[in-house]
Amino acid sequence: MLYWFYQAFGINLFQYITVRAGFSFFLAFVLTIYLMPLFIRWARAKKANQPINKFAPKAHLKKRDTPTMGGVVFIVSTIVATLLGAKLNNPYMLGALMTLVSFCLIGVGDDLGKIVSGNNLHGLSARKKFLLQFTTGLVIGLFLIAYTHFDTRFYIPFVKFPLFDMGWGAAVFWSLVIVAASNAVNLTDGLDGLATVPSIFALFSLGVIVYVTGNAILSSYLLWPKIIGVGEVAVVASALIGGLLGFLWYNCNPAEVFMGDSGSLTVGAFLGYMAILGKSEILLILIGAIFVIETISVIAQIGSYKLRGKRIFLMAPIHHHFEMKQWAENKIIVRFWIISFIANLLALITLKIR
């Protein structure tokens, strides 16, 4: 809408992505701050509480009456802020909205299954969830190739030229990136605010990268791939940061609400989508370092138990391992935030090293 003001009335200020990104940030933040208490009251009345995994540390039992599905609120706030702040005829914006809406619906389906059954393990089956995620990611990938003629070449950090062209196979690769990022954030969302702040750091880093990718001058100066139009998606990233900050107001320890799969799956999928637009699929490993560590800890734990009959960690994901070692919850959370901040700082430095 703001871009329409620029076109219709010549309000020059609204042509700038940075201005509209700032507007979207504040709008999503205010909407989330306002709507979340209403949602919390509604969720408590409907007993839409987070079922606690019976294998979780005993300290989690006190959280069993905490409402979940708070992700719906900040995702809706993000979408509203995006509709008002972004240039909606941009095809990459359509892909961003497609990602947010589709993965939020998958997450809602998973959350509702857990709430109705009263069991944290009785949401969507792992096979069904993966199938839905992969199919949705594949549709998004095919949309990028067929509708936007998006660059299908494969880039890696520190190298200014693409290694090879993936062709239509890029859609499969991109789908796997989106699914991996979506599930990685979901695994990390186990302590109050643990997934929220690293997601904010990652969104900021990818927002910068996408803005550079869509800017002819900056991309040329930094020897970065130039893809006209993708910079507009930085508006969505800014809005989602605002929504997550508003959510953190209620999610910080002790949490009044959890984001649920409706939030974590969506945030992760959008991180994957932004990494694709910024030709940073490999760099996403560093940007989402905490999410990667959490995922590897689960894979290693399961693999070790199946192959050797022994566990590597006291409990996986790894944040539960530190809980079992009697680390205070806040200490685990803040230390993971610090690691995430440093990793994202290193990722941004790579912009200049090519």
| 130-185 residue pLDDT tens | 999 999 999 999 999 999 889 999 999 988 889 999 999 999 999 999 999 999 99
Examine the pLDDT at 187 and tell me if it is beyond 90.
yes
Count of alpha carbons within 13 angstroms of residue 343, beta-carbon side: 25
Q: Which of 252, 290, 258, 253 is nearest to 271 (CA)?
A: 290
Examine the pLDDT at 3 and tell me if it is beyond 60.
no
β strands within the chain, DSSP E: 153-154, 164-165
Cα pseudo-dihedral 182, 233, 277, 179, rounded to 10: 10
Instruction: Name the β-bridge partners of 154.
Output: 164
**Whole-model pTM?**
0.94
Examine the pLDDT at 202 and tell me if it is beyond 60.
yes
